[in-house]
C-alpha cells in the first residue's frame, strides 16, 4: 500500500541502493581482477566477453521473471517471494566471484550473478508503477535516483578502504544485498496479492508469445525503450572501460608529470583514481536528482531527460579527446548533473506510459531489457578497443573512439524522447 512518506519511499527504494552499490563497485573490481590474470593487451577483450555473456542473459531475464511474478499466487504476495530468492542467490553469486581466480570462474560467476539479480529486480521493478500514483512518481523516481547515487558514494568509500581486500569487498556487497532485500520486503509486507492482476494467457504458443511482447506494439513504449537503450549504451561504454582508459592512457602521464606526493600515489592506484571520478559524478548527481525529481513533476519528465542528455553529451566529448586526469575530474561535474537528472526522470516516464492490464512486472522487465542489451554491445566492443589500441601503439585511440560513440548515444537518446506522447 502506498504511503506518501519519505520513510516509505526509502524503504521501497532500498533494494535499488544495494543493486547500485553492487554494480558500481563490481565493474571496477572485476575488471581489475581480470586484468591481473589475462595476457597483456587483451584485458579489454576478455573483460568485454565476460560482460557480454552476462548481458545476453539479462536481455530476457527481467522480463521473464517479471512475467512469472505477475502470475504468482503466493500468500506472501506476487513480488516478495522473487525479491527474497533473488536477494539470497545474489549473495551466493557474489561470494563465488570473490573466490574466483581463473577466467572460467569469472564467466560462470558473472552469469550466475546476472540470473540471480534478474530473479529479484525484474519483479521488484514493478513496485513504483504498481503502487505509486502518477502525481507522486516524480518524487518516487527522484528518491530512487538519490539512493542509487548515495549507494555509489558509499561504495566509493568502501572501495578506497578495502579495495585491496577482494573477498572482504564481495562479503560486504553480499551482506548489504541481504539487508536491503529484507528492508524492502518489510516495507511492502502488506502488498496486495492480486493488485492490477495480469491476464493468464492460454492457447497456442504463438499467441502467448505475441501477448508477452505486446507492449512493443505501443509506439510510446518503443520510443521509451529506444531512448533508454541509447542512454544506457552511452553509460556502459564508459563504465566498462573507464578503469582501463585511466590506467592505460591517463595515469601514466599523470605519474610522469608528478613523480612524488599525492598525485603520484593516485597515479599508482588505478582503482582509487577511477573511484574518485565516479565519486564526483555520484555526489553531484545525488543533488541533481533531488532537484530534478521535483521539477519532473512540475515541468514534465521529457524536458528533464532532454536537458540531461545534452549535458552528458557535452561533457563526454572533451572527456574522450583530452586525456588529462584533472580535466576529466572537472568534466565529471556537468556529467554528474546530467546523470542525476536523467535518473530522476526515466523511471517516472516509463511508469506513466505502461498500463497494468498486461502485467506491471513483465512490462517493466521488458523495459529493463533496454538497459541490459547495450551491455552486450559494449562488452563485444572490447576486441575493437584492443585492436585499435594495438594499431596506434602508445596512443590508445581505441578508448577515444568508443567514448565519442558513447557521447552520441546520449545525444540521440535525449533527442528522440520528444517522440513519446503519453507523458509530459
Q: How large is the average pLDDT for residues 352-369?
A: 68
Please check whether residue 202 lies inside any domain of the structure.
no
**First and final C-alpha spacing in the chain:** 26
Please check whether residue 204 lies inside any domain of the structure.
no
CATH number at residue 278: 1.20.1250.20
| Whole-angstrom distance, CA of residue 101 vs CA of residue 138 | 43
Please check whether residue 214 lies inside any domain of the structure.
no
Helix spans in 125-217 (H): 127-131, 137-162, 166-187, 205-212
pLDDT of residue 303: 81
| Whole-angstrom distance, CA of residue 114 vs CA of residue 55 | 7
Domain count for the chain: 1
| Whole-angstrom distance, CA of residue 175 vs CA of residue 169 | 10
**φ, ψ of residue 257 in degrees (nearest 5):** -85, -20
DSSP per residue, 331-395: HHHHHHHHHHHHHHHHHHHHHHH--STT-HHHHHHHHHHHHHHHHHHHHHTHHHHHHHHHHTTTT
pLDDT of residue 360: 65
Please check whether residue 209 lies inside any domain of the structure.
no
Please check whether residue 165 lies inside any domain of the structure.
yes
Residue 85, pLDDT > 90, answer yes
- Report residue 345 as a C-alpha cell: 526522470
**pTM, to two decimals:** 0.74
Please check whether residue 196 lies inside any domain of the structure.
no
Please check whether residue 299 lies inside any domain of the structure.
yes
Q: For residue 181, give its domain range.
A: 6-190+219-419
Please check whether residue 424 lies inside any domain of the structure.
no
Structure confidence by residue, pLDDT tens digits, 305-325? 888 889 999 999 998 899 899
Residue 39, pLDDT > 80, answer no
- What 212-217 contacts at long range (C-beta under 8 Å, 24+ apart), as own/partner pairs, is 212/63, 212/67, 212/362, 213/366, 214/358, 215/354, 215/358, 215/363, 215/366, 215/367, 216/366
Amino acid at each position: 500500500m502506498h504511503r506518501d512518506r519519505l520513510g516509505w519511499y526509502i524503504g521501497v527504494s532500498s533494494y535499488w541502493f544495494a543493486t547500485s552499490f553492487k554494480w558500481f563497485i563490481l565493474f571496477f573490481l572485476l575488471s581489475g581482477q581480470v586484468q591481473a590474470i589475462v595476457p597483456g593487451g587483451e584485458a579489454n577483450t576478455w573483460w568485454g566477453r565476460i560482460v557480454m555473456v552476462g548481458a545476453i542473459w539479462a536481455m530476457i531475464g527481467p522480463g521473464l521473471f517479471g512475467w512469472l511474478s505477475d502470475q504468482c499466487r503466493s500468500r506472501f504476495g506476487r513480488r516478495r517471494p522473487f525479491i527474497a530468492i533473488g536477494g539470497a542467490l545474489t549473495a551466493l553469486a557474489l561470494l563465488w566471484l570473490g573466490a574466483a581466480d581463473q577466467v572460467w570462474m569469472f564467466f560462470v560467476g558473472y552469469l550466475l550473478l546476472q540470473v540471480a539479480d534478474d530473479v529479484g529486480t525484474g519483479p521488484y521493478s514493478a513496485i513504483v508503477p504498481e503502487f505509486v500514483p502518477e502525481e507522486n512518481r516524480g518524487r518516487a523516481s527522484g528518491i530512487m535516483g538519490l539512493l542509487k547515487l548515495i549507494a555509489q558514494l558509499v561504495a566509493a568509500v568502501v572501495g578506497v578502504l578495502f579495495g585491496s581486500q577482494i573477498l572482504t569487498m564481495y562479503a560486504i556487497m553480499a551482506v548489504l544485498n541481504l539487508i536491503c532485500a529484507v528492508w524492502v520486503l518489510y516495507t511492502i509486507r502488506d502488498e496486495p496479492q492480486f493488485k492490477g492482476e495480469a491476464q493468464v494467457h492460454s492457447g497456442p504458443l504463438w499467441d502467448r508469445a505475441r501477448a508477452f511482447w505486446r507492449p512493443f506494439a505501443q509506439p510510446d513504449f518503443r520510443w521509451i525503450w529506444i531512448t533508454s537503450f541509447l542512454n544506457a549504451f552511452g553509460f556502459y561504454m564508459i563504465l566498462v572501460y573507464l578503469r582501463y582508459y585511466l590506467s592505460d592512457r591517463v595515469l601514466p602521464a599523470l605519474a610522469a608529470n608528478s613523480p612524488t606526493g599525492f598525485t603520484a600515489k593516485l597515479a599508482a592506484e588505478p582503482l582509487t583514481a577511477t573511484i574518485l571520478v565516479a565519486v564526483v559524478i555520484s555526489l553531484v548527481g545525488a543533488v541533481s536528482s533531488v532537484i530534478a525529481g521535483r521539477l519532473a513533476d512540475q515541468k514534465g519528465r521529457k524536458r528533464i531527460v532532454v536537458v540531461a542528455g545534452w549535458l552528458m553529451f557535452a561533457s563526454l566529448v572533451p572527456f574522450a579527446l583530452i586525456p588529462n586526469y584533472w580535466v576529466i575530474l572537472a568534466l565529471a561535474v556537468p556529467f554528474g548533473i546530467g546523470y542525476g537528472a536523467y535518473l530522476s526522470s526515466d523511471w517516472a516516464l516509463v511508469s506513466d506510459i505502461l498500463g497494468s492490464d498486461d502485467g506491471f512486472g513483465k512490462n517493466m522487465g521488458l523495459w529493463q531489457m533496454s538497459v541490459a542489451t547495450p551491455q552486450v554491445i559494449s562488452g563485444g566492443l572490447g576486441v575493437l578497443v584492443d585492436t585499435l589500441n594495438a594499431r596506434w601503439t602508445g596512443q590508445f585511440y581505441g578508448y577515444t573512439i568508443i567514448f565519442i560513440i558513447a557521447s552520441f548515444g546520449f545525444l540521440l537518446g535525449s533527442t528522440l524522447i520528444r517522440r513519446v506522447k503519453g507523458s509530459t
